[in-house]
Amino acid sequence: MTGEKILIVDDEPNNFDIIEAQLLREKYELSYASSGIKALQRLPLFQPDVILLDVMMPDMDGVEVCQKIKSDPLWSHIPIVAVTALNSKQDMARCLEGGADDFISKPVGGIELRARIRSMLRIKQQYDTLQKQRDALAEMLKLREEMSHMIVHDLRNPIACIIFAGELLKEENTLSELNQKKVERIVNCGHRLQALTNDLLVMAKLESGHLVLHRNTINFCQLAHQTIVDFEPIASQKKIILVPEIPLTRKAVDLDANLFRRVLDNLLSNAIKFSPNNSVVRLRVEYPKNGPIQVRVRISDQGHGVSKELQEIIFQKYAVGSLVEGIEQIGLGLAFCKMIVEAHGGQIFVEDNQPKGATFILEI
């Protein structure tokens, strides 16, 4: 036996005998189903490589059977040859539209039948080969992703040691002013690496569905104010003015404060990083009166802005905006923001900030 399995679906047993005789030389493994319902029940038991499907059957005709098979991801790859006594082009088109891969007219000729089955088997073989390649690629990508997550996780300890050692060195009174600045730079870079590894781990948990949001009812305005205060020393280095447009209200919002603070940190850091010296960055908080939105945040800068083309992809992993000399761009910060905002059931997008710059808007 060649091993290829052919399922023959026909309400007339005599038709099965005819097809069996015509395929005898090929030594296929044949199975017979006398109705569409029995054919569907036979699929997981027999797992055919090709299906010969009679169109004119009572209860459930061949087109309906074909549609059910092709709509199931487990069986949609199996080639189906519609066997029909119908000869009009409309009837043949109906079979093809129902999902049939080919058709053959009754009375069935042996030479044509064998040729069409061989053709369908080649298609099935090509599909199986492609599926194996896809499975191997998916397995390789999964392994690489798991290794990346392990490496990122293992980086946390040495980074923490670098920060701890740097903090100890900062307390040394014997360091020169130049060495003190170098130590401060080491500590700052350590904190940046720590934040990046934490973001990568959060993203990995989000993608795997293992991240649990620790929601609390918080004063969002207070969170936004604190973010502005923490970034003022960084902004002052470029003589950038941070303008808070935050209402005086204690209105509460339900969210994970730690993760959402990191979203604000990412957006405000980007706004400062991509803004020119002596410019303005605004953080605006709004509480819409109508609709499902609890809070809307706008962070606007006066930088190069984001083109219409980039606005469509800027939140994808490793996507970066316009390259700016002297500014490091990895392409993970905005992807992280998008994941966190969407995990809260919100959305984030970017618009032009007239007359110049970009405005990142998030809504929860």
pLDDT digits (tens, 9 = 90+) for 263-299: 998 899 889 988 999 999 999 999 988 888 889 999 9
On the question of pLDDT at 29 being above 80, the answer is yes
On the question of pLDDT at 324 being above 60, the answer is no
Same fold, 143-208 and 216-363: no
Q: Which of 15, 60, 16, 13 is nearest to 36 (CA)?
A: 60
Q: Which of 20, 14, 8 is nearest to 110 (CA)?
A: 20
pLDDT tens-digit readout, 238-263: 999 999 999 988 788 899 888 899 89
235: left (phi over 0), alpha (psi -120 to 50) or beta: alpha
Q: What is the mean pLDDT of the chain?
A: 84
Q: Tokens 């280095």 label which residue? A: 237
pLDDT tens-digit readout, 90-142: 767 777 888 888 888 888 888 999 998 999 999 888 888 888 888 888 777 67
pLDDT at 55: 85
Amino acid identity for residue 144 in this structure:
R
On the question of pLDDT at 6 being above 70, the answer is yes
**What is 39-100 written as a DSSP string?**
HHHHHHHH--SEEEEES--SSS-HHHHHHHHHTSTTTTTS-EEEEES--SHHHHHHHHHTT-
Long-range contacts of 68-74 (CB under 8 A, 24+ apart): 68/36, 68/40, 69/40, 69/43, 69/99, 70/98, 70/99, 71/99, 74/43, 74/44
With contact defined as beta carbons under 8 Å apart, do 255 and 215 qualify? yes
pLDDT at 186: 87
Residues constituting the chain:
364
Spatial separation of the C-alpha atoms in residues 80 and 107, rounded to whole Å? 18
pLDDT at 361: 95
On the question of pLDDT at 318 being above 70, the answer is no
**What is 106-140 written as a DSSP string?**
SSPPHHHHHHHHHHHHHHHHHHHHHHHHHHHHHHH
User: Which sign, positive or negative, has the C-alpha torsion 129, 134, 137, 138?
Assistant: negative
318: left (phi over 0), alpha (psi -120 to 50) or beta: left
Strand-pair category, 29-33 with 5-9: parallel
Q: Predicted confidence band at 1 (pLDDT cuts at 50, 70, 90)?
A: very low
Mean pLDDT over 22-37 rounds to 89
Mean pLDDT over 2-30 rounds to 88
The domains of the chain are located at 5-108, 143-208, 216-363
pLDDT at 192: 74
Full-model pTM:
0.52
For domain 143-208, give the fold: Helix Hairpins (1.10.287)
Chain centroid, CA 359 distance in Å: 25
Per the CATH hierarchy, to which homologous superfamily does domain 5-108 belong? Response regulator (3.40.50.2300)
On the question of pLDDT at 321 being above 80, the answer is no
Mean pLDDT over 146-172 rounds to 78
Select the more confidently predicted residue: 92 or 320: 92
CATH architecture of 216-363: 2-Layer Sandwich (3.30)
On the question of pLDDT at 146 being above 80, the answer is no
